[in-house]
Amino acid sequence: PLVSMKEMLEKGKDNGYAVGQFNLNNLEYAQAILQAAEEENSPVILGVSEGAAKYMGGFNVVVSMVKALMESYGTTVPVAIHLDHGSSFAKCAEAIHAGFTSVMIDASHDPLEENIAITKKVVELAHLHGVSVEAELGTVGGQEDDVIADGVIYADPKECKELVDQTGIDCLAPALGSVHGPYKGEPNLGFKEMEEILSTVKLPLVLHGGTGIPTKDIQRAISLGTAKINVNTENQISQTNAVRQVLKDKPELYDPRKYLGPGTEAIKQTVIGKMREFGSSQQA
Ligand code: G3H
Ligand code: ZN
């Protein structure tokens, strides 16, 4: 069923696993991720950035597509449709009214007071609709769609506490050295801060930039309250590599189903691997 993230993340936090957020880029991603979740009997979060929603035809198209696929597949595992890095109250409201079951309001680039004010407004509307809310503090490095950061700023534990206490959000993404897209070298995650944040805010934490984080760091983050891990680039790379290989091997192909199919299978296998690594398999 289509649900908010609230319950699945609290269960994950209490039982020592994280639910993956896998981003949608088109129909094939929705197919691959929903199939992987059902096969693994895992809860799942379908992340949709504003750019990806625009590419697919808008929030309504995304919701209709996901609902229709779930019906066609007979999906039994909990699924959340989540706005990734929502840029404004208006965008969050639009997603909520289109049927998203979860939203992220990313006002992390604003001063704390403004971040709190915008996030609070989003929470008020979202909770009226049974929709969960994620907020961010600090800066995730790298670039995702139009979200560009030139530096990585670690979230401040005191500010995290203030944001959580004043807004009533359901989960918090404290940027602690993770990066969107591939890492240059090993990531240097702020586990000390993560521990401090966990002990003061007591909410499920979210780790952005899940691509390229070594398993030992994933496990440590989960042990410190991380209950949601976002992955996008890794699926894109595995899909693109598979498609590139088929086109190279069979230059006579022109039927998109024949070259996109292997790409979809590659996404599915990557997602299955993540669900096992994050511990969410068999937890639906
Ligand atoms: O919000 C989405 C994620 O943080 C994706 O990060 O593309 O590095 O896996 P990634
Ligand atoms: Zn992100």
pLDDT, tens digit, 9 for 90 and up, residues 121-167: 999 999 999 999 999 999 998 866 666 666 788 999 999 999 999 99
Q: What is the pLDDT of residue 184?
A: 87
- Please give the Cα distance from 223 to 246 (Å, whole number): 40
Report whether pLDDT(247) > 70: yes
Q: What is the pLDDT of residue 146?
A: 60
Atom of ligand 1 nearest to the CA of 140: 4
* Sequence-separated (6 or more) residues with CB below 8 Å from residue 139: 108, 109, 149, 151, 152, 153, 175
- Region 109-117 average pLDDT: 97
Give 250 Cα–ligand 1 centroid separation in angstroms.
32
Residue located nearest, by CA, to atom 2 of ligand 1: 230
Residue 84 annotated among the catalytic residues of the structure? yes
- Please give the Cα distance from 96 to 85 (Å, whole number): 14
User: Is residue 204 a contact partner of residue 232, using CB atoms and an 8 Å limit?
Assistant: no
pLDDT, tens digit, 9 for 90 and up, residues 171-226: 999 999 999 999 988 899 999 999 999 999 999 999 999 999 999 999 999 999 99
pLDDT, tens digit, 9 for 90 and up, residues 94-112: 999 999 999 999 999 999 9
pTM: 0.97
- Please give the Cα distance from 3 to 123 (Å, whole number): 16
Evaluate: CB of 213 within 6 angstroms of ligand 1. Answer: no
User: Which of 139, 152, 232, 278 maximizes ligand 1 atoms within 8 Å of its Cβ, making it the mutation to test the pocket?
Assistant: 232
Give residue limits of the domains in the chain: 6-278
CATH architecture of 6-278: Alpha-Beta Barrel (3.20)
Give 263 Cα–ligand 2 centroid separation in angstroms.
23
Strands 19-23 and 102-105: unpaired
What is the DSSP code (8-state) at residue 183?
A: -
| Cα 73–Cα 77–Cα 82 angle in degrees, nearest 5 | 95
Give 29 Cα–ligand 1 centroid separation in angstroms.
15
Residue located nearest, by CA, to atom 10 of ligand 1: 209
Q: Does ipTM come in above 0.95?
A: yes
Evaluate: CB of 178 within 6 angstroms of ligand 1. Answer: no
* Sequence-separated (6 or more) residues with CB below 8 Å from residue 248: none
Q: What is the pLDDT of residue 152?
A: 81
Ion ligand 2 — residues with CB < 5 Å: 208
Tell me the two tokens of residue 216.
């030992």
Tell me the two tokens of residue 225.
């309250």
- Region 11-32 average pLDDT: 98
The overall average pLDDT reported for the chain is 96
Evaluate: CB of 181 within 6 angstroms of ligand 1. Answer: yes
Give 264 Cα–ligand 2 centroid separation in angstroms.
22
HSE-up of 2 (CA within 13 Å, CB side)?
18
Evaluate: CB of 242 within 6 angstroms of ligand 1. Answer: no
